[in-house]
Amino acid sequence: MRFARRLDAVPPYLFAELERKLTEKQRAGVDVISLGIGDPDLPTPAPVVEALIAAARDAATHQYPTNHGSQELREAAAGFYHDRFGVELDPVAEVVPALGGKEAVGHVALALLDPGDVALAPDPGYPPYTSGPLFAGAELHYLPLTEENAFLPDLDAIPAALVARANVLYLNYPNNPTGAVTQPGYFERAVDFARANDVVVVHDNAYSEICFDGYRAPSFLETPGAKDVGVEIFSPSKGWNMTGWRSGLVAGNAEVVERYRQLKTNLDSGMFEAVQRATVAAFTEARDFPREMSEIYRRRRDLVAEGLAAIGLEVPTPKATPYFWVRVPDGHTSESFTELVLEEAGVLVSPGPAYGPSGEGFFRISLTVPDERLEEAVRRIESSLRSGIITA
């Protein structure tokens, strides 16, 4: 058998590797606490579940849905964007459902990139910013996110020859894995850059609803001119604990929305109508639920911040996202530290380089486990450190 080379071009999917390690340890009887994957531990809000049940009982939902998405879903999404972000979206031309944000990140690349084109992607970044462009046969140029640049890519530092071939710029704020938020003026700068260089901005807005201390993350589409140059991918996965539901949106520039939809008519047959109705319930009846989730993550964040400070791993407290991006102790690499924490403390964290080369020297903690387990994880890391097994 011979297989296409495109899969060999991408590194093994991070979370598949983490899952393998987790299973191996669990088989060996270790009670591993996984702070690796950002998959909310709490259930989807009741109105969403109830809407799904009612919709599944309605035989009208059992046939192929349309790739355009139901009018009801597109209107609910536009209503949410209006009320939450002050963004006006034409529900007919500027919104289309996605089978989760991940699918959209990947397929948008197939709709926008040809072999020879360049995709600009944050490093560290969500792995599909790499695999999507590579599957499209495009070249990838990583934009380093560093503490010095507040984890915002320096668009002026991109070599002109690469800018000339670039057709996509992925951005993601609030950011995974760094927990960083955008800064005033940054999205405006991105719109100017996109306009000047004929680049499409794809803003992945997976985390705007998980915010703390009064911070409310903006949508990229709030930026004047944003709809002329790009789209935003929105997902209820994190805010509404809906990772298993595979629901999301692509919204913004009508041409990009339409090309993405056209691509998908060839690859999938739309989102199960019952899931569309459930997503409507998230945007309407359960609209305030993400604030409740944010409060839960805030409590967990404070608990972890305290624990990390106590063991000398101080990090800035994130204003959004359920993640901590932490520098490994001196003398360690990301890999040696994550291996040691797994072996000695039975705690799984994500090694920074799994999100790109600039992740070296960091690891990511996800707050998506119950408070007691988080406390236990911090205690275990602390006791490994104190006993000198791990040194900080």
Query: What's the CA gap between 200 and 343, in Å, rounded?
Result: 44
Name the residue nearer to ligand PLP (CB basis): 287 or 332: 287
β partners of residue 142: 121
Q: Select the residue interacting with ligand PLP from 241, 243, 279, 366 (CB under 6 A).
A: 243
Query: Residues, the chain, total?
Result: 392
Q: What is the nearest approach in angstroms of ligand PLP to the Cβ of residue 275?
A: 12
Is residue 204 close enough to count as binding ligand PLP by CB under 6 A? yes
Q: What is the nearest approach in angstroms of ligand PLP to the Cβ of residue 3?
A: 25
CB 348 within 8 A of CB 33: yes
Q: What is the nearest approach in angstroms of ligand PLP to the Cβ of residue 4?
A: 24
Site for ligand PLP in 30-89 (CB under 6 A): 38
Would you state the structure tokens that stand for residue 309, as one six-digit string? 């400070």
Rounded to 5°, angle at Cα 168 from 164 and 169: 100
Cβ neighbours of residue 162 under 8 Å, at least 6 residues apart? 118, 120, 141
Cβ neighbours of residue 6 under 8 Å, at least 6 residues apart? 134, 135, 137
Query: What's the CA gap between 9 and 205, in Å, rounded?
Result: 26
Name the residue nearer to ligand PLP (CB basis): 121 or 138: 121
Binding mask of the shown chain, residues 87 to 126, with x at each position contacting ligand PLP by CB under 6 A? -------------xxx--x--------------------x
Q: What is the nearest approach in angstroms of ligand PLP to the Cβ of residue 122?
A: 10
Is residue 248 close enough to count as binding ligand PLP by CB under 6 A? yes
Name the residue nearer to ligand PLP (CB basis): 158 or 249: 249
Site for ligand PLP in 206-225 (CB under 6 A): 206
Name the residue nearer to ligand PLP (CB basis): 172 or 334: 172
Q: What is the nearest approach in angstroms of ligand PLP to the Cβ of residue 340?
A: 25
Name the residue nearer to ligand PLP (CB basis): 44 or 235: 235
Q: Select the residue interacting with ligand PLP from 44, 67, 237, 241 (CB under 6 A).
A: 237
Binding mask of the shown chain, residues 282 to 311, with x at each position contacting ligand PLP by CB under 6 A? ------------------------------
Is residue 352 close enough to count as binding ligand PLP by CB under 6 A? no
> Contact region for ligand PLP (CB under 6 A) — 5-13, 222-230, 235-243, 378-386?
235-243
Name the residue nearer to ligand PLP (CB basis): 177 or 307: 177
> How many residues bind to ligand PLP according to rule CB under 6 A?
14
Q: What is the nearest approach in angstroms of ligand PLP to the Cβ of residue 245?
A: 8
Q: What is the nearest approach in angstroms of ligand PLP to the Cβ of residue 243?
A: 5
Name the residue nearer to ligand PLP (CB basis): 105 or 328: 105
Binding mask of the shown chain, residues 162 to 201, with x at each position contacting ligand PLP by CB under 6 A? ----------x---x-------------------------
Sign of CA dihedral 323, 367, 353, 243: negative
Using CB under 6 A as the criterion, which residues of the chain lie in contact with ligand PLP when the complex forms?
38, 100-102, 105, 126, 172, 176, 204, 206, 235, 237, 243, 248
